[in-house]
Structure formats: structure tokens, C-alpha cells
A and B are shown apart, each in its own frame.
Chain A
Amino acid sequence: MEKRDEPAISAELLTRLARAVVDLQPALVIDLCQQALKEGVAPDVALNQGLAKGMRQVGEKFAAREYFVPEVLLAAKAMYAGFDILKEHLPQKQGYRGRVALGVVQGDIHDIGKNIVKVMVQAAGFEVIDLGRNVPVERFVAAVRNGVDVLGMSSLMTTTMPNMAKVVIALERAGLRNRVKVLVGGAPVTKVFAERIGADGYADDAYGAVKEVERVLK
């Protein structure tokens, strides 16, 4: 595929791609990604200035309570559909800015917030390993042992928040604490709590979560 020198056309295409994500149109996203490749738009450009840009706007709408959870999840579906098209054409794995494991602590099934964080962190160019919900301490530790840059834990209940501290302690015991940055979040979690259990960062929404991932990896 030859790179054509038609920046105006590709800029318009990228805008349409971003809008297709915001408008929750997976089929259109797929079409536009294929078209972008055909027209010689670089896949990483289509990813960052099309799909991810759209997803950022979705994040803003969510924060402004214009979009709610179903809309964000559908936008994510659209983004992933486009990503699947672009993926094969991306320059190897070096496309990722880092590797983040995310999970909801044991005893807690509130995973809606975690899923939204996952979507936004992925959209920002990180590889995400989703550990799911009701995740036992050992599974978090194993994920770190297998090599991740950031471990993000979510808890929506005061009763399960102490399990975050248990993971941090288990990481220390296993001699893995220095290998990973730990972030915590979820509605009842506070900055003070994060500091007290020895986490490296905290955010109260998905937007902030992305910023924290970027900050701790600097």
C-alpha cells in the first residue's frame, strides 16, 4: 500500500472514524478502518487519531453524564471492531505503551467501573490484561509475576476494600512490589486510603485512571 499525499482526505476520514465511535456504529467503524487502510492512512494514525480520539470523546460524554454505561460499552465494542482491522497492519507489539493488569478484588462483583477503566486505558494505547472480578489475592500476584507494568485494582464496597491492602502485602512478601506500580480505584476508595495501603496512585474516574497510568510510568 502506497502512502498517498492527500492529508485533507485522510483528516476528514479520521474525523469520520472518531465520530463513528462516538455515534456507537461498529459496522461503520469497520468500513472506515478498511477504507483508511486502502487509502494508505498509517494504521497507528487511524488508531490514535480516529478510534482512540473517538473513545476519548466518549469518555468526556460519560463524565458529563451525557453517556451512561451502556453507551460507553457499545462505543468500546465499536473501537475494538476497528482495532481488529488495524491490528494486523500495526508495527508489531511495540505499539503498546505498557502493560496494565486490571481486576476487581475478591468478594466484589461490581465490575462496571473496572470495565470502563479498561476501555479508556486500552484506548490510550496500553495493553490490558483483564483479570475479571472477584479476583483472589494470588491471581493478582501471579499476574505481576508474569510481568506487568501497572496493576490496577477496583473495589466498590467498604467490605472488600481491605483486600486491596492484602494484595499489596502479598506483593511485598513475594518480593514483587518494586516490579510494579499499583493503582486503586472504585467509588469508596480515596486518595488517603490509597496512600495508607501503600499504593502508587488513585483516580476517581476512568479519565483520571489513564492519567495515573501515564504518571506512574514516567
Chain B
Amino acid sequence: MEQARERLQSLLVGDRVEPPVVFPIVVANHAARISNVPLISALTDGEILSEVLYYAYQFYNYDLIMVFADVFVEAEAMGCRLEFFNDEPPVMVEPIVDGARVAESGRQGRMAVIVDATSRLVTMAGKEVAVLTSLKGPFSLASFLSGPEDFFASLLVAPERAEFFLRLALENQKVFAREIIRAGGVPFIGDPMASGSVISADIFARFALPYLKELVQAIHNSGSWTGIHICGDTSGILSLLPESGAEIFSIDDMNLSAVRAQLGDDRVIMGNVPTGLFIDGEVAEVKKAGVDCLEKGGQRMILASACDVPAEARVENVRALVKVAEEWRW
């Protein structure tokens, strides 16, 4: 069997891949949990983050590694205040509003933790597996910088204010993406606030898409490919997503046949076994959902969870998804 890295490359250039690339989206929280490490250590120390992610990768034997700590890494580096817990993701207690500025380097604050973990993982496993490193889409980051309520109001009544934060967020993410690429990672964009559960297609087209496009362009110019993950129901904006230029579209819990129809047969889709199933479901249910994804999504699929695998996911359920891919023949 070809190594994970080659199978992913083949998938990206349009070849049929067998077994399909599989990645239950295991990130810091579940990885720390199964490694018996307090989450907070993984969120604040690049070496520990790389170790728990590597442990999870070996433990489950899936085909990608994703470096992701929590959604506020960049916002914090730019000046937002967070509150940390021992075993839960941090919460943002204060946006910045005034005095927000682009990080001076791609290693400001905990961005350094992410970059450090990326380069360590590339050294540990880069030959066999691609290391994707998560960064926020400009829309989500801008909403954190200005505070979501303020940002939402700006979108409708003071677009120039929203655009100010969007520019700032975009510039920061260009710097961050470059640093990630330098460390050997593939920047992978997550834009949870651009969710169809939150904003309309019009707002998406005007305030999220153009900035995504520019970020993707910058990533391409630095010699990397990229992907985009948007949480929630994105049915209203799916047809716009390819305009971003990204190579992979990772989608949340929604009807995959409809998604495939909207995105077209050629696009690489990543998804979309509901995350709740990993906690409450039986192995057989996870398997059935996995098979369903491959049947509906077809050959141009990365078999994955719909969003990140929850911390308390049952180990046998995560394994079950990997197994679906291993046993699959087109």
C-alpha cells in the first residue's frame, strides 16, 4: 500500500485512490485526552502539542495530521484576552476592538506553538504523511477581533468598519500562512463564523469569500495547496465555495449527495460523519455513516468526521471510521 502522503497527492491530481484517504479530524482536545495529557499543556507548548498529535496519528493510523489547538490562537496573538481551563478549550473574555494590529511575525503569541508543533511533526512524520496546519479564515478572525455582535452589526450598517477588521485579519493570516509553509505545513483554513447557520449567502459573498480568495491566492503564491472547512449548514453558500480556489472543501453534517451535486464531481470533499456519533454512536453506526459518505461522495472524497472529533469520543468509534477506509474497494 502506498503511503498516506502519496495517496493524498494522487487524490489531489485526480487519480483514483485505494484505499481512500481517511482522517477522523483528531485535533488537540481528543489527542490530549487519549494521551492522558491536560489539554492546556497541548495548547500552550508546541512540543507537547506535536507529541499528542503524533501519538494519536500512530494510535489510529489515519492518513493526515492536523495541527489545531483552539479557535482563538491568532485572535489572542493579536490582542484578545482569553480564559484558560485545564481540560476545556479556552474562552474569549474580551475582543480587542481598538488597538488591534497585525502580528509582527508569524510566531507571535501562541502562533509560535502552532508553528513549532508543525515543524516538529514534519520532522517526525513528514515523509509519510501530510501535516495540515489550521488557521482561521479572515471572516472568523475579524469577528473575534471586533467582537461578534459588533462585527455583525457592522456588516449591515457600517461595512467600512467590518472591512477594516477583515483587512487586518487577512494581513495577519497571510503572515501566519507563510510561516506555516516555511515550517513544512499545509495551511488549512477553518472559517466557523462564516457558517450558513450564522450568515446569509449575500453576506458570505460580500464579506467572507473575497478575503478567503485572497488568502488562498497568497498561499498558492507561497507554493502550497490548501483546504477550507466551514462549520454548520453551508447549503446556501456551497456553490460559491469553489471560487475561493482552494483544493479541498471540508463540510459539516449535511446531505452529502446534495453537496456533491452542488460542488460537482471533480472537487475533493472532506467529510462528513456527524461528530456526535463518535460519542454516542455504536461502532456499526459509525461504519454505516462512513460507508454512506464514500457511496454518496464518490472517489474524490477524504473520508472524515464532519468537524473535529470531540474530546470524549469513544476510541473504538474513531477506529471504526479508519477501518471503513481500509476495507473499502471501489
Give A contacts to B, CB under 8 Å: 24, 65, 67-71, 73-74, 77, 107-109, 112, 115, 133-134, 158-160, 188
Q: Are A158 and B279 in contact (CB under 8 A)?
A: yes
Instruction: Say yes or no: is B12 at the interface (Cβ < 8 Å to chain A).
Output: no
Residues on the B chain within 8 Å of A108, using CB = 91
* Given A74-B157, A158-B279, A188-B276: A68 and B199 interface contact (C-beta under 8 Å): yes
> Which residues of B181-198 are within 8 A (CB) of A?
198
Q: Are A68 and B203 in contact (CB under 8 A)?
A: yes
> What are 8 pairs between A and B in contact, CB < 8 Å?
A24-B156, A68-B199, A69-B198, A70-B152, A73-B153, A108-B91, A133-B91, A159-B312
Per-residue CB proximity of B58-102 to A under 8 Å, as 1/0?
000000000000000000000000010100110111000000000
A102 to chain B, nearest CB (A): 15
Bound complex: CA A134 to CA B94 (Å): 12
Bound complex: CA A134 to CA B236 (Å): 31
Instruction: Say yes or no: is B148 at the interface (Cβ < 8 Å to chain A).
Output: yes
Bound complex: CA A107 to CA B311 (Å): 13
Q: Are A158 and B312 in contact (CB under 8 A)?
A: yes
B89 to chain A, nearest CB (A): 8
Per-residue CB proximity of B234-274 to A under 8 Å, as 1/0?
00100000000000000000000000000000000000000
Residues on the B chain within 8 Å of A77, using CB = 153
Bound complex: CA A112 to CA B192 (Å): 13
Instruction: Say yes or no: is B160 at the interface (Cβ < 8 Å to chain A).
Output: no
Bound complex: CA A189 to CA B149 (Å): 24
> Which residues of B282-330 are within 8 A (CB) of A?
310-312
Additional 15 contacts, C-beta under 8 A, given A68-B198, A68-B200, A70-B156? A69-B198, A69-B199, A70-B152, A70-B199, A71-B156, A71-B200, A73-B149, A73-B152, A74-B153, A74-B157, A108-B91, A109-B91, A112-B198, A158-B312, A159-B311
A51 to chain B, nearest CB (A): 18
Top 4 nearest A-B pairs by Cβ distance? A70-B152, A107-B88, A109-B91, A68-B200
Instruction: Say yes or no: is B125 at the interface (Cβ < 8 Å to chain A).
Output: no
In the complex, which of the residues A68, A74, A109, A158 contacts B276, with contact meaning CB atoms closer than 8 Å?
A158
Residues on the A chain within 8 Å of B37, using CB = none
Residues on the B chain within 8 Å of A159, using CB = 88, 310-312
Name the residue of chain B whose CB is nearest to the CB of A113.
B197
A137 to chain B, nearest CB (A): 14
Bound complex: CA A69 to CA B197 (Å): 8
A130 to chain B, nearest CB (A): 12
Residues on the B chain within 8 Å of A24, using CB = 156
Instruction: Say yes or no: is B155 at the interface (Cβ < 8 Å to chain A).
Output: yes
B198 to chain A, nearest CB (A): 5
Name the residue of chain B whose CB is nearest to the CB of A134.
B91
Q: Are A134 and B83 in contact (CB under 8 A)?
A: yes
In the complex, which of the residues B92, B148, B279, B311 contacts A112, with contact meaning CB atoms closer than 8 Å?
B148
In the complex, which of the residues B91, B93, B200, B279 contacts A107, with contact meaning CB atoms closer than 8 Å?
B91
Residues on the A chain within 8 Å of B155, using CB = 70
In the complex, which of the residues B93, B203, B311 contacts A70, with contact meaning CB atoms closer than 8 Å?
B203
Bound complex: CA A188 to CA B279 (Å): 12
Q: Are A115 and B279 in contact (CB under 8 A)?
A: no
Name the residue of chain A whose CB is nearest to the CB of B233.
A65
Residues on the B chain within 8 Å of A112, using CB = 148, 198
Bound complex: CA A160 to CA B312 (Å): 11
> Which residues of B210-225 are within 8 A (CB) of A?
none
B145 to chain A, nearest CB (A): 15
Residues on the A chain within 8 Å of B152, using CB = 69-70, 73-74
Name the residue of chain A whose CB is nearest to the CB of B232.
A187
Name the residue of chain B whose CB is nearest to the CB of A69.
B198
Bound complex: CA A160 to CA B311 (Å): 11
Q: Are A115 and B149 in contact (CB under 8 A)?
A: yes
A63 to chain B, nearest CB (A): 13
Bound complex: CA A134 to CA B93 (Å): 9
Residues on the B chain within 8 Å of A134, using CB = 83, 91, 93
Name the residue of chain A whose CB is nearest to the CB of B150.
A73
Residues on the B chain within 8 Å of A65, using CB = 236
Bound complex: CA A74 to CA B312 (Å): 37
Residues on the A chain within 8 Å of B88, using CB = 107, 159-160
Bound complex: CA A188 to CA B274 (Å): 12
A164 to chain B, nearest CB (A): 15
Bound complex: CA A175 to CA B13 (Å): 65
Name the residue of chain A whose CB is nearest to the CB of B162.
A70
Residues on the A chain within 8 Å of B91, using CB = 107-109, 133-134
